[in-house]
Structure 1
């Protein structure tokens, strides 16, 4: 899909949780079809923040989204900010709830590959993934890759946790 745009909400979106929330809100307002992708991208430097990208299956969906988003308080620009977005919305994400097998992840969603941190090779297709309803794969060289890690009972969990502890929370 080459029909993409970037949405920059400025300093109001500095962390992934806020970016996820805004991405879901904008997707609902736009009534995005399941074939659309919504990703977050980290922008480093003096104005460190998170920007969003949307990728559509057609030029007409792109035009409609650009018009509606430009009417809001966001800076909208053509294309993707980089090639390494963190996918929040993607085909099949809604089917990745509860515990699913790696084979189900690959068959039901746009995720192309599952890797296990510290592991060698791909996990077995029957390996169980406890999703915690928070599955955020990353684009790597044009392939959507979910990083997982070993968990209790021989299961796997996505590397990114749904409610991370903020740095220095106990201080």
Structure 2
């Protein structure tokens, strides 16, 4: 699957300082706006004079985003046409809720909008029968119009998504 074919995308500027904060905000907004299953919701790192994490929503039908735009603007968010960049990190995407527990890569690809899985440090495509321990935190990124999950080897010959759901803050023990 590739990014939604219709170009209905809005960007939402936020004051979120971390990916975790942006994830929670995106999930709360999606619930509040009652967004349908097929909507993509992504986070985007903004590195200007005010570093933060922006959001984007993409849908195949314009009325879904028109309503979201109106409600978000009324709440004080700055909303504009288009995503902040082309490499958003997907939090909301078709099938995301079905990616729990341990799945084969073939199951992951069949159940979700994810197009491809890459494994850090290995060339080529991974075996579709490899098992991925999702940790209930699967955050693929857009790469050249395709949704790609980066994974890494883990214990017992399994894989885990590269992004840790509970990262240790830098210098936590200092």
Q: Does 1:93 align with 2:96?
A: yes
The answer (yes or no) to whether the contact 1:9–1:73 under 8 Å persists in 2 is no
Deviation per CA, 1:75-97: give whole Å up to 9, x if none.
11111111000000000001100
- Aligned-pair Cα RMSD in Å: 0.7
Instruction: Give the counterpart of 1:38 among 37, 41, 59.
Output: 41
Partner of 1:6: 11
TM-score by length of 2: 0.95
Alignment check: 8 A CA contact 1:38 1:52 kept: yes
Structure 2 unaligned blocks of 5 or more:
none
Match of 1:61 among 51, 64, 81: 64
> Match of 1:106, SS?
helix
> TM-score scaled by structure 1?
0.97
Q: Does 1:47 align with 2:50?
A: yes
| Alignment correspondent of 2:153 | 150
- Pair 1:71 & 2:74 matched: yes
Pick one of 150, 167, 170 that aligns with 1:164.
167
For 1:45 and 1:66, the matched residues in 2 are separated by: 23
Cα separation, 2, equivalents of 1:162 and 1:73: 29
User: Distance between the aligned counterparts of 1:135 and 1:86, measured in 2?
Assistant: 10
**1: distance between equivalents of 2:124 and 2:108?**
17
Displacement of 1:141: 0.6
Which of structure 1's runs of 4+ aligned residues deviate more than 2 A? none
Query: May I ask how many residue pairs the two structures share in their alignment?
Result: 169
Segments of structure 1 that go 5 or more residues without pairing to the other structure are none
- For residues 121-140 of structure 1, the aligned pairs below 5 Å read 121-140=124-143
Cα deviation digits, residues 87-138 of structure 1 (max 9, x gap): 0000000110000010011111000000000011111111000000000000
